[in-house]
Amino acid sequence: MSENFELALQLLGIGMVTVFTILLLVILIGNTIIKFVNRFIPEAPKVVSSRGRSSGGISSGKMAAIVAAVQMATNGKGRVTSIEKE
């Protein structure tokens, strides 16, 4: 019975190491893809209408406040891409 128990523990250890390694690879590859896209693929600029309202219907003053809050909270690393009213 002890041989089966040792084999079970060995298989458990190998399985856990394999899963950990695959998850680590997924995280590293995902972060690399995100950094590549953010660096080399620019985002299309948003169109603002002549009335001072963006395409989402939010006034320019509110939009400026939201952008300033995001800049402050993320130390200049964050960016507002869209605002939707629910």
pLDDT digits (tens), the chain, 86 positions: 789 999 999 999 999 999 999 999 999 999 999 999 988 987 777 665 545 444 557 788 888 898 899 999 998 888 888 777 66
Q: What are the structure tokens assigned to 31, written together?
A: 């972060």
Q: Does residue 55 contact residue 48 with C-beta atoms inside 8 Å? A: yes
Percent of the chain that is helix, strand, coil (3-state, to 5):
60, 5, 35
How many domains, in total, are found in the chain? 2
Q: Is 35 in the same domain as 7? A: yes
Q: Is 30 in the same domain as 52? A: no
Give the pLDDT score at 58: 76
Q: Is 83 in the same domain as 65? A: yes
pTM of the model: 0.49
Q: Is 58 in the same domain as 70? A: yes
